[in-house]
A and B are shown apart, each in its own frame.
Chain A
Amino acid sequence: MVKITEVEWVENAIGRKVPKRIGNEELFPYEGPFAHRPHKDHKYGPKLDYMADQTSEIVSTLSEAIDKVGLKDEMTISFHHHFRNGDMVMNMVLEEIEKKGIKDLVLAPSSTFPCQEETIIRCVKNGTIARIEGGSARGEIGRMVSTGKYLGHPMKIRSHGGRVRAIEAGDIKIDVAFIGAPSSDELGNLNGVNGPSACGTINFAFVDARFADHVIAITDHLVEYPNFPMSISQELVDYVVVVDKIGDPNKIASGELRITNSPTRLKIAKDAVRIADLLGYVKDGMSFQAGAGGISLAFTEFLHQEMKEKGIVARWAQGGTTKFLVDMLKDGSVHKLITGQAFDTVAIESMRNDPKDHVDLPIGAYANIHGKGCTVNKLDIVVLGASEVDVDFNVNTATLSSGLVAEPVGGHSDTAAGSDLCIITIPLFRGRYPVVVDRCTTVVTPGETVDVIVTERGITINPRRTDLLEKLAKVKIPRDLRICTIQELQKMADEITGGRVEPNWGDEIVALIEYRDGTIIDTVRNVLPKYYDDAIFVDRDDINDLERREN
């Protein structure tokens, strides 16, 4: 692992020290949300292939497919996370690779889930995996990263849009993409809407398919040629492997997501709707994104009620889609839905039955800053969570206050930068840990891109948004909506919890937080053992917030 004393440091635009280079790799310090231009002229190009007279790409076993694409030591393999905690593909593939004795691979998934932890950790320990290129790391994998013991190279943590950028730029060169496909035909036309392991969309894998040298599709539902819709088309797929089962449907999507019962969180969600309304954002033709975390679901529900009461219709909504958004589509409160991931069975059904108004998009079209257009830039409102927010409005969504890498960053920094009104909804404290702090343990989303923070004890507007403050000065603020400064919030949090405690950092760099444009916004060091078992989350609501917050 790389010691902090072995690298040369430079201060980036938000005052965080980041390495200038690690090994042979030159790094770019964060310059501002839209400042950094692509550092390469052209997109990375994958291998050309030759399959002129081929009429079927089916191979009988996974092992054979791996042999055929010529997977070797030190190559990079990738996976998508649409099967969420019901995924069987990654474990299946890694086990096969272990058997072949291939070593030192780079694992580059779009995200990981608890069901893969055991296999990944074993593969890291036995040398099959030498490095992880995020995506995100959470749970036990995050803990492993934070020990600094097993991986030879710092993990890069990227947003959804940032991962697409990195692949297109060739920062991540995928040798073999393994794509779990809920349905496929014999030439590898793939989609996520049909089959027993349907997950709605497989568009996180789109960039992998386009830029990997080789693509192996793994399906449990082989259909007659041609398979419609062709979400990922045959021109990108080398081989198709048919197996018994690629996912556990009960864990791929939740049957029924419930709105939190916590009065505090309900208040936060309701107040977020009220402040958006007071600021004039709840209006005809609006667009918004709110995820599937406890507060976000409640936000969507309260927004829906408000819109119905006032007869407001939104143009579109996007994000991890759920029943709550589908309900809005059905009753005409929103014209169109764009799905990044489908979180429940209702969303998956809706994608299957309503392909005209409920669509998915490649993640690059959703959030890639170095693409030629992305939907986040057209968002009016986004509602996001956080593990910490500081007085500069910087947001941490990657580590806990104890410094452990533990949370998925998802599309946080992408949507914050793109949207016009980025609302962070958080409790002021969790257990005895303050959430509004003087300085974030780790920065993922820069304060310049964050506009409003809503807590149960007060709402604050980023002073950079003078336009919002002017708007607010002109409206009557209801008595129970307390508007205050971020410093006041931080003071309140400190008084209740006793303040933030600096993590017990070691002297190794275990992760780099890469901003969506490829620059480095922050560095994460290893955490010394006494903090490993520090339990930060004291109740189910906190855990729910984090578990579901992925998009």
Chain B
Amino acid sequence: MRLRRSRLYVPGNNPKMIPPAGLYGADVISLDLEDAVGPEYKIDARMLVSEALKVVDFGPSVEVTVRINPLSTEWGRWDIKQIVCEKLDGIYIPKVETPEDVIQVDELVTELEDKKGLPMGRIKLFATMETAKGILNAHEIARCSGRLEGITIGGEDLTADLGGERSSDGIAIHTARQLIVLAAKAAGIQAIDTVYSDFKDMDGLRKETNMVRIMGYDGKACIHPSQIEVIHEAFNPKPEEIVQAVKVMNAIKVAKERGSGVIALGSKMIDRPIVLKAEKMLSRARAAELYIPTIEEIMQGDNGSDQNGKKGGGDD
């Protein structure tokens, strides 16, 4: 599954912000037709976004998605009809409460792909749960469509629905965050966290992103390009983690060559979860184009000076 550490929201009714949206290094951009756009501009924004999808070159590596209006509104269905095109990579469906909300979109997209002669099944779906009901149905929702590659949580709306309060520790939506990540991982898809809305508070953002990464999340939405770097830093494997992973994989290789069944690294036994974790770590590092030292470089570093930290510096 592709790297989705950061997902940048771009107001769908702002012609100045859309063309450069792909320049800031976000893994995903979401042209927003929903909350960023007032009712009186919904149709303008839809036209702007559908044109932008056709003519703007967002760059080779970014995943281009649109957040549509819910199908329960007068706009949702028309949003999908107009935006489905060759350059659209995915659709974010807001306010999902039941599997039906996703299945309806899936069916409509399938119909449109067929009608427009697009490759079938290429457009991915992402469901956002932002009500108590949606969160409790997350398990069913996460498994309801083959197009679904991730589920996300809408922090602001959910807090309001709960009658709770947003706080720096996010206690009001803590359990919801855990339910989302459980549902996602049970379905074999990604979990993507909500936005951190104070875009000047980088320390707060760093703290929250680290928290959701530890919980198992794969990415986080953002509302300002300056948040992207902090989010990537938090999700990227640290240099020492990469070094450890390389050492683990090397130990496996050496053990296999020797035909030894028991594998140890230093004084620790290496079991299957550790190998899986190392593999995951390295594949994430490769996807993020981070520096991965060879085992020889690491051995040299261990014997001589402590170069590992410096060399492993992320260049993302």
Q: Which residues of B contact A480 (CB under 8 A)?
A: 25, 316
Contacting pair A478 B289 (CB below 8 A): yes
C-alpha spacing A266/B199, complex, angstroms:
14
Q: Which residues of B contact A49 (CB under 8 A)?
A: none
Q: How far is the CB of B7 from chain A (nearest CB, A)?
A: 15
Show the binding face of A for B, using Cβ within 8 Å.
263-264, 266-267, 456-457, 476, 478-480, 496, 539
Contact with A478, one of B16, B20, B316 (Cβ below 8 angstroms): B316
Contacting pair B316 A264 (CB below 8 A): no
Q: Which residues of A contact B291 (CB under 8 A)?
A: 476
C-alpha spacing A266/B200, complex, angstroms:
14
Contact with A456, one of B20, B224, B226, B289 (Cβ below 8 angstroms): B20
What would 25 A/B residue contacts be, using CB atoms closer than 8 Å?
Answer: A263-B20, A263-B24, A263-B224, A263-B226, A264-B20, A264-B23, A266-B225, A266-B226, A267-B23, A267-B24, A267-B225, A456-B20, A456-B23, A457-B23, A476-B291, A476-B315, A478-B315, A478-B316, A479-B61, A479-B289, A479-B316, A480-B25, A480-B316, A496-B19, A539-B16
Given contacts A263-B225, A267-B23, A479-B316, 20 further A-B contacts (CB under 8 A): A263-B224, A263-B226, A264-B20, A264-B23, A266-B225, A266-B226, A267-B225, A456-B20, A456-B23, A457-B23, A476-B291, A476-B315, A478-B289, A478-B315, A478-B316, A479-B61, A479-B289, A480-B25, A496-B19, A539-B16
Q: Which residues of A contact B16 (CB under 8 A)?
A: 539
Q: How far is the CB of A351 from chain B (nearest CB, A)?
A: 31
Q: How far is the CB of B46 from chain A (nearest CB, A)?
A: 22
Q: How far is the CB of B285 from chain A (nearest CB, A)?
A: 13
Q: Which residues of A contact B25 (CB under 8 A)?
A: 480
Q: How far is the CB of B110 from chain A (nearest CB, A)?
A: 33
Residue of A nearest to B62 (CB): A480
C-alpha spacing A480/B24, complex, angstroms:
8
Show the binding face of B for A, using Cβ within 8 Å.
16, 19-20, 23-25, 61, 224-226, 289, 291, 315-316
Q: Which residues of B contact A496 (CB under 8 A)?
A: 19
Q: How far is the CB of A414 from chain B (nearest CB, A)?
A: 32
Q: Which residues of B contact A457 (CB under 8 A)?
A: 23
Residue of A nearest to B21 (CB): A263
C-alpha spacing A263/B23, complex, angstroms:
9
Q: How far is the CB of A264 from chain B (nearest CB, A)?
A: 5
Q: How far is the CB of A479 from chain B (nearest CB, A)?
A: 5
Residue of B nearest to A268 (CB): B23
Q: Which residues of B contact A263 (CB under 8 A)?
A: 20, 24, 224-226
C-alpha spacing A456/B226, complex, angstroms:
14
C-alpha spacing A327/B224, complex, angstroms:
26
Residue of B nearest to A428 (CB): B20
C-alpha spacing A476/B311, complex, angstroms:
12
C-alpha spacing A267/B226, complex, angstroms:
9
Q: Which residues of A contact B224 (CB under 8 A)?
A: 263
Q: How far is the CB of A342 from chain B (nearest CB, A)?
A: 28
Residue of B nearest to A476 (CB): B315
Q: How far is the CB of B224 from chain A (nearest CB, A)?
A: 7
C-alpha spacing A106/B61, complex, angstroms:
58
Residue of A nearest to B17 (CB): A263
C-alpha spacing A266/B19, complex, angstroms:
16
C-alpha spacing A476/B19, complex, angstroms:
28
Q: Which residues of A contact B316 (CB under 8 A)?
A: 478-480
Residue of A nearest to B8 (CB): A263
Q: Which residues of B contact A478 (CB under 8 A)?
A: 289, 315-316
Q: Which residues of B contact A264 (CB under 8 A)?
A: 20, 23
Q: How far is the CB of A227 from chain B (nearest CB, A)?
A: 44
Q: How far is the CB of A270 from chain B (nearest CB, A)?
A: 9
C-alpha spacing A263/B61, complex, angstroms:
19
Q: How far is the CB of A427 from chain B (nearest CB, A)?
A: 9
Residue from A264, A456, A480, A496 having most chain B Cβ neighbours under 10 A: A480
Q: Which residues of A contact B289 (CB under 8 A)?
A: 478-479
Q: Which residues of B contact A539 (CB under 8 A)?
A: 16
Residue of B nearest to A539 (CB): B16
Q: How far is the CB of A79 from chain B (nearest CB, A)?
A: 39
Q: Which residues of B contact A476 (CB under 8 A)?
A: 291, 315
C-alpha spacing A476/B315, complex, angstroms:
9
Q: How far is the CB of A461 from chain B (nearest CB, A)?
A: 19
Q: Which residues of A contact B24 (CB under 8 A)?
A: 263, 267
Residue from A263, A266, A496 having most chain B Cβ neighbours under 10 A: A263
C-alpha spacing A476/B291, complex, angstroms:
10
C-alpha spacing A264/B22, complex, angstroms:
11
C-alpha spacing A541/B194, complex, angstroms:
30
C-alpha spacing A539/B225, complex, angstroms:
19
Q: How far is the CB of B120 from chain A (nearest CB, A)?
A: 30
Q: How far is the CB of A206 from chain B (nearest CB, A)?
A: 42
C-alpha spacing A131/B25, complex, angstroms:
51
Q: Which residues of B contact A479 (CB under 8 A)?
A: 61, 289, 316
C-alpha spacing A480/B315, complex, angstroms:
10
